[in-house]
Amino acid sequence: MKDTREQLSAMTVGLHWLIAAAIIGMLAFGLYIDSLERSPERTSLMDLHKSIGVTILALACLRMLWRWRNGFPVLLGQAPRWQKAAAHAVHGLLLLATVLMPLTGILSSIGGGHGLPLFGLTLVADDGVRQETLHAIGETHGAIAWILIVLIGIHVAAALKHQVIDRDGTMRRMWGWRISG
């Protein structure tokens, strides 16, 4: 089922909330791991961070394909043009960041010679060989994380404005409810 103005598809709703929860959790998890001293526990937490991140990449790619086929949900309410343009820009950047975060993480890990784990499997072996260019690109991981945190802040503030001030059904629709007119 495709998205319509009155009701969003289960795919849009399911992927939005699954990826939203996973991304917010991973931002907190990444910052927490970053604050730990080097230890075997930190390494296994980092492996878990990487494995969840690779899984998010697969989901985020699926979502990109879905958005490309389906387009973005039609915006509700009577917002001025600049606000609609801003909403589209923030949605586009959020989608991009959900792909760039795992990709830069993967480059940081492989470029640092640490390979790529996936829940006990080895996708790329840990060979200890540093590849400076890959690692340098991967170093944008932390910076993109902070940009993403700001974007999520703007996005959630806008969602609350729709809910509390505009009362236009935007939030209800993102929970899968059918809205009228």
- Closer by beta carbon to ligand HEM, 109 or else 134: 109
* Residues in CB range of 95: below 8 A, 6 or more apart: 60, 63, 64, 67
Shortest separation between residue 166's beta carbon and ligand HEM, angstroms:
11
Among residues 2, 4, 18, 34, the one that binds ligand HEM under rule CB under 6 A: 34
Q: How many residues bind ligand HEM (CB under 6 A)?
A: 43
Which of 140-172 are b and which e, b meaning 16 or more Cβ less than 10 Å from the residue's Cβ?
A: bbeebbeebeebbeebeebeeebeeeeebbbbe
Cβ distance 76 to 145 under 8 Å? Answer: no
Binding characters for ligand HEM, 66-105, by CB under 6 A (x = yes) = -x----xx-x-----------x---x--xx--x--xx--x
E strands, 27-135, in order = 116-118, 121-124
Question: Applying CB under 6 A, does 155 fall inside the site for ligand HEM?
Answer: yes
Distance of CA 102 to the CA centre of its chain: 9
DSSP H/E element including 91 = helix 81-111
Question: Applying CB under 6 A, does 170 fall inside the site for ligand HEM?
Answer: yes
Question: Applying CB under 6 A, does 42 fall inside the site for ligand HEM?
Answer: no
Cβ distance 26 to 50 under 8 Å? Answer: no
- Given the structure tokens 């795992």, which residue do they identify? 102
Question: Applying CB under 6 A, does 169 fall inside the site for ligand HEM?
Answer: no
Number of residues written out for the chain: 181
Binding characters for ligand HEM, 104-143, by CB under 6 A (x = yes) = -xx-xx------x---------------------x--xx-
Cβ distance 42 to 36 under 8 Å? Answer: yes
Please give the residue ranges that form the binding site for ligand HEM (CB under 6 A).
12, 16, 20, 23-24, 26-27, 30-31, 34, 49-50, 53-54, 56, 67, 72-73, 75, 87, 91, 94-95, 98, 101-102, 105-106, 108-109, 116, 138, 141-142, 145, 152, 155-156, 159, 170-171, 173-174
